[in-house]
Amino acid sequence: MTDERDIKRIIEALLFALEGPLTLDDFSQAIQGVENKEIRQAIEALKEEYTAERRSFTIRRIASGYQLVTLPQFAEYIRKLRDNTRTTTLSKAALETLAIIAYRQPAIKAQIEEIRGVASDGVIRNLLEKKLIRIVGRKKVLGRPLMYGTTSRFLDYFGLDNINELPKLEDFELPES
């Protein structure tokens, strides 16, 4: 039987070694015979230890999983050594399109193009290739256009646990036309 200390050490090793958020199922697969409740307790205990020891990182729920993240106050130091903070860079057009899809999902291309005022075929294709959006179905209207929604990779990219963590549109100050 694996004791609580070993469970914490295994979880920590998995979080350090593997890229992206890990789900409870991922941990259960690695630490067989340990219930999800024990895994959650171990994660919470690790978070408390990191806080008590004033570590520069913590464990955060992201995209329905858990990931080690650096605390925000250390971002400026990391930025100084890293030219590109994301392996995937997004253009302004991609960010605009992604925002429309995130807030309107499911969104169709016609809605996106109406809001942006330009054709969005290439941008949508690019976002699909980067797996930040996915096709979620077809709208039941004439022509049956594809509907798009965000993915767990989108959540991971923006450090969100779920889509409800997006800032509210009312919180944005929009430029006057």
pLDDT digits over 119-137, tens only? 999 999 999 999 999 999 9
Do 62 and 159 meet the contact criterion of CB atoms below 8 Å apart? yes
Residues 128, 57 share a domain = no
86 domain-assigned: no
- Position 115 scores a pLDDT of 93
Closest by Cα among 67, 86, 84 to 18: 67
Condensed to tens digits (0 to 9), the pLDDT of residues 69-104 reads: 999 999 888 877 765 444 568 899 999 999 999 999
Of 32, 53, 80, which marks where a domain is finished? 80
Of 80, 113, 144, which marks where a domain is finished? 80
The Cα 167–Cα 136 span in angstroms is: 23
Average pLDDT over residues 33-60: 95
- Position 177 scores a pLDDT of 55
Cα dihedral 154, 157, 162, 163, rounded to 10, equals -50
Residues 74, 135 share a domain = no
85 domain-assigned: no
The secondary structure of 22-87 as a DSSP string is: B-HHHHHHHSTT--HHHHHHHHHHHHHHHHHTT-SEEEEEETTEEEEEE-GGGHHHHHHH-S-S-S
Q: 110: domain CATH number?
A: 1.10.10.10
177 domain-assigned: no
Residues 110, 61 share a domain = no
Residues 119, 72 share a domain = no
Residues 72, 120 share a domain = no
131 domain-assigned: yes
Neighbours of 153 (CB within 10 A): 16
Closest by Cα among 116, 119, 122 to 101: 116
Residues 102, 67 share a domain = no
pTM of the model: 0.59
- Position 64 scores a pLDDT of 85
25 domain-assigned: yes
3-class secondary-structure state, position 107: strand
- Position 79 scores a pLDDT of 78
What Rg value do the Cα atoms of the chain yield, rounded? Answer: 20
| Higher per-residue confidence, 36 vs 172 | 36
Total domains in the fold of the chain: 2
87 domain-assigned: no
Domain that holds residue 20: 4-80
